Structure 1
Amino acid sequence: MADRRKHSKITSILPDGLVKAINERLVAGETYESIAEYIRAQGHEISKSSIGRYGKDFLSKLERLRVVKEQARTIVSENKDGPALEMTEAATQLALQLIMERLVAVDNLNSAKDGEILKALALLERSAVQREKLKMDASKLLDVAVERIKNSLKEELEKNPDVLDKLVRMVDDIATDTKDKK
């Protein structure tokens, strides 16, 4: 099977401003014929078929982006980590999904594109390791903060040992609950 052309006449011949206008018209739902007339009015000759091929590819990519955006929203809404990690986790999960889809669709694992996929997988793995390190660092910082609070409370409440014990237990319970939620 022959490879399809990567760049259509629209992106290779027409100026960027006109391509942007075509994209906007495609999104607005204009017909390929009306877009062809618009291009002719701008002084360029592109067939309705060329616009159709470009439009099919463009709208397919646009729909895929909408699906990915919705998946990201779902992942973020279900993510139990803090807000600092939500988007990176969502992006990593979506990127892994896209890479796996590409690997399943590939017939020849020795192509240059597959080398790019392997590099992307390595970057995602590195990102996951960094995210886990961040989680561990946050946990250690929480432990340090808890100890500082306890020490400050001890200094302030030495005169009232019953209140001190109760407050220390409350801080410990909050720290345990926070760690359990991770």
Structure 2
Amino acid sequence: MTFRVSIRPKYYLTLWAGFMEYRNELTEREKNLAKVFFKTLAALDKEDVSLLAEKYLKGEHKTQYVPEHDGYMGRLPITDSILADRRGINIKEYREARIRAENRLRMELKQYADEIEASVRQELPSYVLRMNSLYLKRYEIGMFDQVKEEIIFTQDKSQAKVFTNESEEGRGLAIGFNLTKEEPETSSFYLDVRV
């Protein structure tokens, strides 16, 4: 239903050349991947982008044949030892610099994935409320719209109480108890129809 953002930088980096070569022929999924990759790549500094391009974009050996393009989407990265020699540094220094650049890209991907996930959660037509690995199952509202004595949670998402987007009660519980909205199980669930 929703597009999930991978936070594995090497996955995107090996497809970098393909994103550029087939930019006018990309499938919808490939377009989404390319948007994520180029948005997060733009957040890196020029030295990181240059180092990653040298390793992943300039490789000559193609891989990952895609019939839709009748070509190869990926490139095999150039080895660290060859690139260290080209830069005139030892392999350990080069590898540390590359790993730092990849980790910065991973952090940007993680941040972007979190932003997308938060916006998707806000737009859910119905949702359950989660705290770590527990889901809100039952509670009672007393006088003055306060939660009575106890709130019951469950580990089984299918037993969680489902709220609609119009539910002020669900919104209040999410904010008051710092609970996270999540898509409900698609099987049977209890629907809160109170507004």
TM-score of the superposed pair, with normalisation by structure 1: 0.31
More strand as a share of residues = 2
Q: TM-score, with normalisation over the residues of structure 2?
A: 0.29
Report which structure shows greater RCO (CA 8 Å, sep ≥6). Answer: 2
Structure number with bigger Rg? 1
